[in-house]
A and B are shown apart, each in its own frame.
Chain A
Amino acid sequence: MDAYLIETVIKIVVILLLFSALAGFGTYFERKVLAFMQRRLGPMNVGPYGVLQIAADGIKLFTKEDLIPQGVVPAIFKIAPVITVATAFMAAAAIPFMPEFTAFGYTVKPIIADINVGILYVIGVMGVGLYGPLLGGMASANKFALISTARAAAVFISYEVVTGLSLLAPLMMVGSLSLIDINNFQAGGFTHWMIWSQPIAFVLFLIAAFAETGRTPFHLIANDHELIDGFGTEYSGMRWGLFFIGEYANMFFISWVIALVFLGGFGDGSVLGALALFLKVSFFFFFFLWTRAAWPDVRPDQLMMLCWKILMPIAVVNIVITGIVMMF
Chain B
Amino acid sequence: MEHYSVAHPYFGVFLLFVMTFGAFMATTVVARLASRALSSKSSEKIKLSVYECGPEVSKQPNRLSPQFYLFALLFLLFDVEIVFMFPWAIDFKLLGWFGFAEMLLFILLLAIGFVYAWKKGALEWHNIK
Whole-angstrom distance between the Cβ of B91 and the nearest chain A Cβ: 7
Is A304 in contact with B41, judged by CB distance below 8 angstroms?
Answer: no
Is A4 in contact with B123, judged by CB distance below 8 angstroms?
Answer: no
* Contacting residue for A71 out of B27, B30, B60, B67, CB 8 A: B60
Report the separation of the CA atoms of residues A13 and B16 in the bound assembly, to the nearest whole angstrom. 9
**Does A259 belong to the interface (CB within 8 Å)?**
no
Whole-angstrom distance between the Cβ of B46 and the nearest chain A Cβ: 10
Report the separation of the CA atoms of residues A239 and B31 in the bound assembly, to the nearest whole angstrom. 9
Those of B71-129 within 8 Å (CB) of chain A: 71-72, 74-75, 78-79, 82, 85-86, 89-93, 96-97, 100, 103-104, 107, 111, 114, 118, 123, 125
Is A64 in contact with B39, judged by CB distance below 8 angstroms?
Answer: yes
Give the interface size class of chain A: 35 or more
| Chain B positions within 8 Å of A180 at CB level | 1-3
Report the separation of the CA atoms of residues A138 and B114 in the bound assembly, to the nearest whole angstrom. 31
Is A141 in contact with B59, judged by CB distance below 8 angstroms?
Answer: yes
| Chain A positions within 8 Å of B48 at CB level | 67-70
Closest to A299 in B: B125
* Contacting residue for A175 out of B51, B93, B107, CB 8 A: B93
Is A63 in contact with B123, judged by CB distance below 8 angstroms?
Answer: no
Known interface pairs A157-B72, A238-B27, A326-B93. Does A109 touch B9 (Cβ–Cβ under 8 Å)?
A: no
Report the separation of the CA atoms of residues A137 and B25 in the bound assembly, to the nearest whole angstrom. 19
Is A143 in contact with B75, judged by CB distance below 8 angstroms?
Answer: no
Is B12 in contact with A113, judged by CB distance below 8 angstroms?
Answer: yes
Known interface pairs A63-B34, A99-B1, A146-B62. Does A113 touch B10 (Cβ–Cβ under 8 Å)?
A: yes
Is A234 in contact with B41, judged by CB distance below 8 angstroms?
Answer: no
Q: Which residues of A contact B (CB under 8 A)?
A: 4, 8-9, 11-13, 16, 61-71, 78, 81-82, 85-86, 89-90, 92-94, 96, 99-100, 109, 111-116, 120-121, 138, 141-144, 146-147, 150, 153-154, 157-158, 160-161, 164-165, 168-169, 171-172, 175-178, 180, 183-184, 228, 233-234, 237-239, 242, 266, 269, 300-301, 304-305, 308-309, 312-313, 316, 319-320, 323, 326-327
20 other contacts beyond A12-B12, A82-B21, A86-B20, with CB at 8 A cut-off?
A9-B15, A12-B15, A16-B23, A62-B31, A64-B39, A81-B28, A114-B4, A144-B51, A153-B68, A157-B71, A161-B75, A161-B78, A168-B86, A180-B2, A183-B1, A242-B24, A242-B27, A323-B92, A323-B104, A327-B96
Q: Which residues of B contact A (CB under 8 A)?
A: 1-4, 6, 9-13, 15-17, 19-21, 23-25, 27-28, 30-32, 34-36, 38-41, 47-52, 57, 59-60, 62, 64-65, 67-68, 71-72, 74-75, 78-79, 82, 85-86, 89-93, 96-97, 100, 103-104, 107, 111, 114, 118, 123, 125
Q: Supply 30 A–B pairs (Cβ within 8 Å), ascending by A.
A: A9-B19, A62-B38, A70-B48, A86-B17, A89-B16, A93-B13, A94-B13, A112-B12, A138-B62, A141-B59, A144-B51, A147-B64, A150-B65, A154-B67, A158-B71, A168-B82, A168-B86, A171-B90, A175-B90, A175-B92, A177-B86, A180-B1, A180-B3, A183-B1, A238-B27, A238-B35, A242-B27, A301-B125, A305-B125, A327-B100
